[in-house]
């Protein structure tokens, strides 16, 4: 399998805190790579580095063979890296439809006319057809989560980064979101997926990357990673602090 | 009923523009003057609205472009005998070039620093022009239109920039650029990760604003006949535009229309009490901010639930 993304010795510090610390891993084309780690492990910071929200202090990011470490967030999005936010951040004063249109027109580079068709497909997929004209700011959490998914998808990504997309949802709601993620994966889109619910990772992910305090712990088969002593120690160690 | 009004809005607007188009034939000089001022202030204010209301750029330096536009017309007509409307256009072009130059410095700044940066540029221009022999120092320049033009022509030029500014901003908002602007307005960082080129979008708006402000000022100074640095580069210009946009409704297309009308009406009525007129305008602005912080049109839109010129996608 070909690597779509290769992260090499990536480091981000906030003052004295090494939020992401010499992290090296790769993402294979078409896979679902789960990312696990305790709170504060640096998972969201990693996504912010991958999407260009933060500049790395050290290391580099190769996407489809190109060094994108210093490209702007908009450029990376147009290259095909889409993302969701852990705490949904829809454009509150825009409608559901307009939220998706922004992704399709700007990130996806589609003409508004073509984007409209694309947006209809996505609305169907995420099940928000009946709420197209609702303001995003007025949506309940489940809808905000699915809108996050939809908006990322609208940017026509080849790689999508999901930050605790099922976090904070009831089991029934989470199942619905999982179904959408599975459909996205079936479209051939590569997924890097941060999630706290470990069972979900065990079933959903092809491989699992475990990090703690910004550092690489383990990467490989989900069940093996979860049961490895490094991960158990890493978890317990971090959780105790 | 509401829908019927909404659906007929283009006809109503077209009729309105048509009526305004025949004002010169009515023979009422005061009405002509009034409408001309209205259109000019509308164009200037709509540009400030494009920056502050849609692009997140609070400029306190629109007077840089007012002065530049006016001086280009003056210099072109005085020294080179350039066809007057070409001079107006060049005023816009030079203003946009000035904006491009300014952007090299101020686009690194954010929020209040950006605002102060734009202001400092205007002050620098004021000092420059009042010490420049070429533009006759602080004494200023007369504008000698080539060929001689009538009030009617100035009026139609004003009508074009006034109506044009509304159409232009409407067009921008309906375009890809505008869609990005509205996303930026809600969450700039997120819009960037969704592919919106934030820096470029802001720069485009800043340059468009500079161009229209510069050309509008050119027309204004043809009417005033005389330009001096202390007036042309004064912050009073931007203060007036802020007043118009705030009371009309910032971030709405109709706000500057209503605001400009109210402003011209008030400033003409209060003209005899010149010394207190600014105080009264200020008091009105504060009152509007307290009672209806979204301005007249912003509040009406909220109450009635529809916009006449809506940039919304359906
Ligand atoms: N912008 C920031 N400034 C300072 N510290 C930050 C910032 N973002 C994250 N951190 C810190 O970096 C560490 C990793 O945070 P984060 O990546 O959000 O963890 P996770 O998503 O794994 O829970 C935390 O200790 C957090 O407090
Ligand atoms: Mg996180």
What residue has token string 């992290």?
A: A23
Nearest to B115 by CA among B212, B218, B235, B217: B235
Tokens of A217: 């712990």
Residue A182 lies in a domain: yes
Looking at residue A241, its pLDDT comes to: 45
- Which helix or strand (DSSP H or E) is residue A11 part of? strand A3-14
Q: Say what the pLDDT of residue B259 is.
A: 96
CATH number of the structural domain spanning residue A221: 3.40.50.300
Output the pLDDT for position A239: 53
- Closest CB from B189, B196, B198 relative to A102: B196
The phi, psi pair for A22, rounded to 5°, reads: 45, 50
Residues B78, B144: contact at Cβ < 8 Å?
A: yes
Contacts of B261 (CB under 8 A, 6+ apart): B38
Which residue, among A76, A98, A162, would best test binding to B if mutated, counting the most B CBs under 10 Å from its CB?
A98
pLDDT tens figures, A161-197: 999 999 999 999 999 999 999 999 999 999 999 998 7
Closest CA to A37 of A232, A241, A240: A232
A109 and A228 fall within a common domain? no
Q: What is the pTM of this model?
A: 0.94
Quick check: A91 and B187 CB within 8 A? yes
Q: Which of A11, A36, A40 to mutate to test the pocket of ligand 1 (most atoms within 8 A of CB)?
A: A40
Q: Please indicate, yes or no, if residue A41 is contained in any of the structural domains.
A: yes
Ligand 1 atom nearest to CA at A54: 1
Q: Can you tell me the mean pLDDT for A39-61? A: 97
Retrieve residue A103's tokens: 């992704």
* Count of beta carbons in the 10 Å neighbourhood of residue B202: 22
Q: How many domains does chain A have?
A: 2
Q: What is the mean pLDDT of residues A10-30?
A: 97
Nearest-CB residue to B194 (from A53, A102, A112): A102
pLDDT category, A240, cuts 50, 70, 90? very low
From the list B196, B198, B313, the residue facing A97 with the nearest CB is B313
pLDDT digits (tens, 9 = 90+) for B162-192: 999 999 999 999 999 999 999 999 999 999 9
- As a whole number of angstroms, the distance between CA A132 and CA A120 comes to 9
Q: How many helices (H) and strands (E) does chain B have?
A: 16, 2
Residue A117 and residue A162 share a domain? no
State residue B314's pLDDT score: 84
CB contact under 8 A, A106 and B179: yes
Together in a domain, A151 and A176: no
The verdict on residue A62 lying in a domain is yes
Contacts of A94 in chain B (CB under 8 A): 182-183, 186
On whether any CB of chain B is under 8 Å from the CB of A112, the answer is yes
* ipTM field: 0.94
Indicate if A220 and A231 belong to the same structural domain. yes
For residues B32-66, one letter each, b for 16 or more C-beta atoms within 10 angstroms of the residue's C-beta and e for the rest, the string is bbbbbbbbbbbbbbbbbbbbbbbbbbbbbbbbbbb
Residue ranges making up the domain that contains A105: 90-156
Residues A172 and A233 in one domain: yes
Q: What is the pLDDT of residue A229?
A: 84
pLDDT tens across B140-149, in order?
Answer: 999 999 888 9
Residue where a domain terminates, one of A156, A171, A198 = A156
Share of chain B above pLDDT 90, in %: 81
**Ligand 2 centroid to B13 CA: how many Å?**
51
Partner-chain residue, chosen from A78, A91, A155, that has the shortest CB–CB distance to B183: A91
Pocket test for ligand 1, best of A10, A11, A14 (most atoms within 8 A of CB): A14
pLDDT in tens, A213-228: 999 999 999 999 988 8
Print the SS3 string covering A171-185: HHHHHHHHHHHHHHH
Tell me how close the Cα of B94 comes to any Cα of chain A, in angstroms.
31
Per residue in B213-272, pLDDT tens?
Answer: 999 999 999 999 999 999 999 999 999 999 999 999 999 999 999 999 999 999 898 888
The per-residue pLDDT of chain B, averaged, comes to 94
A180/A66 same-domain check: yes
A224 lies in some domain:
yes
Q: Where do we find the tokens 């001689």?
A: B148
Query: Which ligand is located closest to the Cα atom of residue A241?
Result: 1
Whether A128 maps to a domain, the answer reads yes
Q: How far apart are CA B233 and CA B118, in angstroms?
A: 12
Looking at the fold, whether A41 and A1 belong to one and the same domain comes out as yes
Q: Check whether residue A112 and residue A164 sit in a common domain.
A: no
Minimum CA distance residue for ligand 1 atom 11: A19
Rounded average pLDDT over A129-147: 97
Domain assignment of residue A76, yes or no: yes
Does a structural domain hold residue A198? yes
Asked if residue A85 is part of any domain, the answer here is no
Identify whether residues A64 and A166 lie together within a single domain. yes
Residues A169 and A204 in one domain: yes
- End residue of a domain, out of A137, A156, A175: A156
Angle between helices B62-79 and B198-224 (to 10 degrees): 50
Same domain, yes or no, for A70 and A162? yes
Question: Which residues have any ligand 1 atom within 6 Å of their CB?
Answer: A 14, 17, 19, 37, 39-45
Give Cα separations from B250 to A40, A72, B53, B237 (angstroms).
41, 30, 5, 17
Domain boundary among A122, A156, A190: A156
* Interface membership of A109 toward B (CB under 8 Å): yes
Ligand 1, atom 6: closest residue by C-alpha:
A14
Separation in Å, CA of B298 to nearest CA in chain A? 14
Q: How confident is the model at residue A1 (pLDDT cuts 50, 70, 90)?
A: low
Asked if residue A165 and residue A238 are part of one domain, the reply reads yes
The tens digit of pLDDT for each residue in B49-89 reads 999 999 999 999 999 999 999 999 999 999 999 999 999 99
- Give the confidence band of A52 by pLDDT, cuts at 50, 70, 90: very high
């Amino acid at each position: 399998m070909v690597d779509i993304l290769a992260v090499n010795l990536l480091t981000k510090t906030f003052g004295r805190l090494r939020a992401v610390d010499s992290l090296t891993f790769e993402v294979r084309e078409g896979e679902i790579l789960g990312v696990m780690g305790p709170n504060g492990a640096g998972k969201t910071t990693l996504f912010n580095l991958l999407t260009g929200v933060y500049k790395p202090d050290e290391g580099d990011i190769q996407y489809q063979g190109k060094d994108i470490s210093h490209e702007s967030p908009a450029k990376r999005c147009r290259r095909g890296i889409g993302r969701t936010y852990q705490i949904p951040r829809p454009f509150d004063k825009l409608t559901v439809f307009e939220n998706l249109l922004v992704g399709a027109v700007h990130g996806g580079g589609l003409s508004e006319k073509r984007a409209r068709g694309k947006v209809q497909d996505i609305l169907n997929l995420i099940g928000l057809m009946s709420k197209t004209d609702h303001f995003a700011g007025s949506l309940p959490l489940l809808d905000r989560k699915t809108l996050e998914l939809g908006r990322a998808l609208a940017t026509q990504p080849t790689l999508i980064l999901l930050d605790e997309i099922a976090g904070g949802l009831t089991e029934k709601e989470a199942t619905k979101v999982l179904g959408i993620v599975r459909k996205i994966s079936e479209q051939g889109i590569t997924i890097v997926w941060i999630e706290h619910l470990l069972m979900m990772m065990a079933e959903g992910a092809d491989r699992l990357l475990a990090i703690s305090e910004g550092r690489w712990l383990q990467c490989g088969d989900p069940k093996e990673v979860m049961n490895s002593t490094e991960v158990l120690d890493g978890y317990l160690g971090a959780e105790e602090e | 009923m509401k829908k019927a009004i909404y659906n007929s809005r283009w006809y109503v607007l077209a009729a309105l523009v048509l009526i305004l188009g025949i004002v010169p034939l009515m023979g009422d000089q005061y009405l002509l003057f009034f409408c001309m001022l209205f259109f000019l202030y509308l164009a200037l204010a709509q540009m400030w609205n494009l920056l502050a209301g849609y692009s997140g750029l609070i400029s306190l330096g629109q007077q840089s472009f007012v002065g530049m536009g006016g001086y280009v017309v003056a210099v072109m007509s005085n020294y080179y005998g350039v066809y007057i409307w070409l001079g107006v256009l060049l005023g816009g072009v030079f203003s946009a070039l000035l904006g491009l130059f300014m952007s090299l410095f101020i686009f690194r700044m954010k929020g209040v620093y950006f605002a102060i940066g734009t202001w400092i540029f205007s002050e620098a221009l004021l000092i420059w022009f009042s010490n420049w022999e070429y533009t006759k120092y602080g004494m200023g320049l007369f504008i000698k239109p080539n060929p001689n033009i009538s009030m009617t022509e100035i009026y139609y030029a004003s009508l074009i920039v006034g109506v044009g500014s509304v159409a232009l901003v409407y067009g921008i908002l309906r375009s890809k650029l505008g869609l990005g602007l509205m996303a930026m307005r809600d969450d700039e960082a997120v819009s960037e990760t969704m592919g919106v080129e934030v820096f470029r979008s802001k720069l485009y708006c800043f340059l468009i604003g500079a161009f229209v402000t510069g050309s509008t000022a050119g027309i204004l100074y043809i009417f005033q006949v005389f330009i001096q640095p202390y007036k042309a580069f004064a912050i009073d210009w931007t203060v007036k535009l802020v007043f118009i946009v705030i009371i009309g409704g910032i971030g709405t297309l109709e706000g500057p229309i209503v605001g400009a009308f109210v402003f011209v009406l008030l400033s003409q009525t209060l003209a005899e009490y010149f010394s207190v007129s600014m105080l009264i305008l200020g008091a009105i602005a504060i009152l509007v901010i307290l009672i209806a912080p979204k301005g007249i049109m912003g509040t009406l839109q909220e109450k009635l639930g529809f916009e006449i010129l809506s940039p919304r996608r359906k």
